A and B are shown apart, each in its own frame.
Chain A
């Protein structure tokens, strides 16, 4: 595997040196350029509730629920975690959890070692931690909240920093209480401890991305901010993040962020920011993917974007081996973008009027789906893992989608 990566890296480097096509998809065999379809391989229906967040842990998937759905005069709240067997192409519902006092479950993620599941709750804000010794039967470890959190946990990102495990929580504004970022040490899952809390974002801090001791925050109209929390060489730590740089997002409304690390070359040049404009759930949406060059973290800058007419982006997941970003696009389904190579350099024809490169004009759009369905979708989230792609659809449940053909 290592030698294969080395060969890929050498090839990418060599082709990258000779590729002067302005960042568009050229002859680079490592840049996926052949369009393909995202077809539904199987669907696990959820008719009783609206489906939202998604996490896949081996052969088990977890989906959260959102808001209130009424079916046959029965109102069901977004207080359920659906547990799926995804060992075959068609997800099979095997169990569910009900979290008391929640109207929406803001986020869900298993730890990288697969031992614990963390669920964020709204509008009574908390995080609920489950033991996954039996992944199909999560066992409650603890539920954590305090006065900084109880307004509602909109998103929760669980990542290790150093030798500790943290949950990075984006807290909803409520009344005169402004949105804030709260970081909780969950190294001991039975005894979470808040280590950082700060008002952030105008008017929201909506999501974060953590990698290699760097914290990136999506701050809505404040754009993004990058913090050293131990890996940036600025003396920052999780308890004392040191801001390294900020960047505005064209149009504002920075909703989520993903920092791409090319698993072949190790290059970490671009971060992708989802813009969430005002839509009408679950019928319309608006918002672009924004590409930020973070080579200089003290001076990040937007260099490219991707737009889908009539639809807006939501959550991301990536195939970092192949350089593909999968983006949930609400009523636009799922889109796959080729993100390897130089996205910030393009021809004049590939630029928008404000000088940014347009990924669509650069032929970076690879796929969309699910194709061939006879009913509308409103895709909230995607998760690519172990070569498989899953999508959570508010209206219809959990999809397993085809991915890029092997190359």
Chain B
């Protein structure tokens, strides 16, 4: 007897998305199951972030159905966060634990502090805890933001262009970190990228977003298919 595929953590059924009068994506079907690492690939402006945000519940869909509401840990594009805030890296990472109101100086808040320190340490950012977030380098910020997402104890870790704007050395340090976190914490991941050379070894599945449509499937087959390999010829 064939093994039945596990229930998806989140399922998109015939979903259409857009802004104002513009329809960005139509008829999207996507199942994300536990343990999978999805690469959401496509050109700039193709709708990758739109798809990601709809899964996170940040933008309303035009039509279709999203089934499942897993706990997300979200790593946004770091440039979006204003460096003027006088927040330490610990303060930023601790935001992952702000799921509900807690009284100041309560016992739950102290327990949350231990979780945050552990997440920072797991991301190699333990020594950055007291440093001002706005003063960190791009790679250091990314580690803190991943720690923040982990502090939310996510079922799905969602990363929006995690390697954009970081140098090669930092990329080479972040990728093993993501692989290690995936193994150690049995994470499911969704990662937006407009280039794939660095991340492709990490993906188990790929969603290719182009001209308002989404093609998806196992990474090996998708990356070998003519369409993606032609476009990313130099990278592959």
Q: Do chains A and B stick together as partners? A: no
A-side residues, CB < 8 A to B, are none
B-side residues, CB < 8 A to A, are none
